[in-house]
A and B are shown apart, each in its own frame.
Chain A
Amino acid sequence: MTTPNIDDKGLPEHCLSLRVASDWGHFRRVGRTATKQTYRMIPRTTVAGLLAAIVGEPRDSYYETFGEDVSAIAITPESELRTINMPMTSVGTDPSEATTQTAGSRRSQLVRYQDTRAPRQIHVYETLVDPVYRLDVAVEDEEFYTQLRRHLKNGTSHYPPSLGLSEHLARVELLNSSSEPTPVTGDEPVIIDAAVPGTLKNVVPQAGVECVTERSAAVMEGIGGGRRTTRFDDLVFTPTPDTGVKVAPSALDWPVASVGDKTVVFR
């Protein structure tokens, strides 16, 4: 099997389909410190990190592999995306988390933050409960794709995969090592199972179906021993399984396709 070619619209000719799951998950929202809120939908960049862990790529080494023109990923939630709060006491003194205890002027309301410089700090993690995602993944990097498929077929992983925090050990199941996406086009709305990039204005409301939106990191690049996000995606999805987002494929800038029994959007 050759490495998949990804066409100009972003649709791969074939892809790997897998399921990742854990009892817990935490994908830390950017800009939060003392309270660590989580994205409901695993960010595209986290998927890249998870797959790189399976292959054994070192930190900050795989961003080009998951660049926007050479990779295609569709993420479909397969569980209710429910969270609970998990306060944790940990050893403190992270200078980047030092915050003031009060904020605002005399006239404004006093705001108190946790003193994160204290020896022990309580961090509240908003934690996903039993998250399950299906991933449809293609990258043009031949070496990476070959290694990834080999690991998934053998059930092996260089580093054990996890969903966000390293203690949230994940289970990975290969569903299909050569899924062939069938394009779905047209102006007629279809039910899309995966997270849909875009805004709510494209969504056709359905009775009893809740749609939520999130904006999370999608593509990163390495810079001088570090990294930076070069693209964020707004995502629309339903937080309950077995319901989807109703959108006309023509309203999206991204390719819609049927992969197995799912209708997904590659991005």
Chain B
Amino acid sequence: MSSPDFPRSEMLFVTDAQDCNPNGNPLAEDRPRRDPETGQGIVTDVRLKRYLRDQLLDDGYGVYVKKVDGESQGRKTLTLDILDEISEASDIEEVEDIGKKFLSRATDVRYFGAALTFESSDDDDDDKLQNALQGAFPNQYQGPVQFLPAKSLNKVEENQDYDSLTSVIATDDENRQGGFGLDDHRIVYGIFPFYGLVDENAAADTNLTKDDVERLDTLCWRALKNQPTSRSKLGQTPRLYLRVVYEEGKYHTGNLHNMIDLADESSDPLRSIDDVVVTVDSLCDRLETEKERIDKIRFVGDSRFTLSRGGETFGADEIGEKLHLNTEQINVYKERDLADE
């Protein structure tokens, strides 16, 4: 295994969701995911990674997990979409270093990994192709970039006002009126801290590069700005992004998302970002005790997101000044890394 050319880093990415459904549960009428005991909203890592993949696509990068021809597809079709020079089993031998080529084009696999198992087929040619693909790849690429599913800092309530949506266009030519009871469940407000980590050792397995890691600094922010576009997803906003870059590998502080909490000054219940004050005392204190091990902290914050440290409140865009560490503010649009440029 080759040595990584970058150290470990970890991320705290705070987003919020207002009057929307940040992550529906497909087995519960698509209601927003919620912990029934604590009332906290939940957004899975899978949902966050979908936004990141969609932003990668918009930025011009190759992505493995996506719709092809407007439809969801299985692994064979997705793989062949990446390796478009392959259409039958014998083509695979013609491609030099197929794994390297696949990873160079499938940006999301370099970040998040993928399972690459293929089923057998009744069709002989298809069966040969699937077997050849199975032989060409490991069963799984372990993702070096991992995000914990996020739990909201607040208890979330479902917004009852949206339950009775009615479509104005009939659902079928035979019907004389639009559909009723279109499930449209939303939360009133939730603020979600994601915790993520870039594992420099696993990075060697997926050929994740330093450029890939640095791309996360604008990708996360722009993905949450740009990708929640459907009716139920509109209302989500990135509020704070920190990436802590360590001096060397094999060390990370961990648990950054549990070092922030709602301050007493926050309204109860929360209705919008204007009601939120988050205390960052524990986070800042802990990071400052790690000073010797931290190379720098890259950050971007929203001025409307109010943070508090030592009783003083300030906008999240000022957190760099409040941290007694080497901080760099990210210019999200100036620094964005587009594949076509």
Contacts and interface: CB of A to CB of B under 8 A. Distances in A.
B199 A159 contact: yes
B110 to A, nearest CB: 15
A125 to B, nearest CB: 10
A134 to B, nearest CB: 17
Interface in A106-160: 117-120, 122, 124, 129, 151, 154-160
B143 A166 contact: yes
Given A87-B25, A90-B46, A160-B197, A120 B148 contact: no
Given A87-B26, A95-B120, A154 B251 contact: yes
Interface in B55-79: 65, 71-78
Interface string A164-175: 001111111000
Interface string B143-176: 1001111010000000000000000000000000
B65 A91 contact: yes
Contacts of B252: 157, 160
Chain B contact-residue range equals 35 or more
A119 B71 contact: yes
Interface stretch (B81-89, B111-119, B304-312): B111-119
Contact of B202 (A85, A94, A151, A159): A159
Contact of A158 (B65, B149, B201, B255): B201
B46 A88 contact: yes
Interface string A75-101: 000000010111111111111101000
A183 interface: no
Interface in B18-68: 25-27, 33, 35-37, 42, 44-46, 65
Interface in B177-199: 195, 197, 199
B99 interface: no
B257 to A, nearest CB: 8
Contacts of B327: none
A109 B119 CA distance: 29
A24 interface: yes
Given A94-B115, A94-B119, A166-B143, A86 B72 contact: no
A175 to B, nearest CB: 16
A156 B199 CA distance: 12
B250 A156 contact: yes
Determine the main DSSP class of B at the interface with A. Answer: loop
Contacts of B73: 119
Contact of B146 (A84, A87, A151, A162): A162
A10 B46 CA distance: 43
Contacts of B197: 160, 169
Nearest to B142: A166
A253 interface: no
Given A93-B118, A117-B119, A160-B197, A124 B146 contact: no
Interface string B249-291: 0111011011000000000000000000000000000000000
Contacts of A157: 250-252
Contact of B26 (A122, A167, A169): A122
Contacts of B74: 91-93, 117-119
A62 B157 CA distance: 47
A179 to B, nearest CB: 23
A56 interface: yes
A7 interface: no
Contacts of A170: 254
A23 interface: yes
Contacts of B46: 88-90
A203 B130 CA distance: 53
A22 interface: yes
B37 A82 contact: yes
Nearest to B112: A167
Contacts of A87: 25-27
Contact of A167 (B115, B118, B147, B258): B147
Contacts of B250: 151, 156-158
Contact of A120 (B25, B72, B117): B72
Contacts of B119: 93-95, 98, 117
B173 to A, nearest CB: 28
Given A129-B35, A158-B201, A160-B197, A169 B254 contact: yes
Nearest to A85: B27
Given A24-B148, A87-B26, A167-B146, A156 B254 contact: no
Interface of A: 22-24, 56, 82, 84-96, 98, 117-120, 122, 124, 129, 151, 154-160, 162, 166-172
Given A89-B46, A129-B37, A158-B250, 17 more contacts: A23-B148, A56-B201, A87-B27, A90-B46, A91-B65, A93-B75, A93-B118, A95-B118, A98-B119, A117-B119, A119-B74, A129-B35, A151-B250, A157-B252, A160-B199, A166-B113, A169-B197
The 7 closest A-B pairs by CB, nearest first: A95-B119, A93-B74, A119-B72, A156-B250, A120-B72, A93-B75, A87-B27
12 contacts: A23-B258, A86-B44, A91-B75, A91-B115, A93-B75, A93-B118, A119-B73, A157-B250, A160-B197, A162-B146, A166-B143, A169-B197
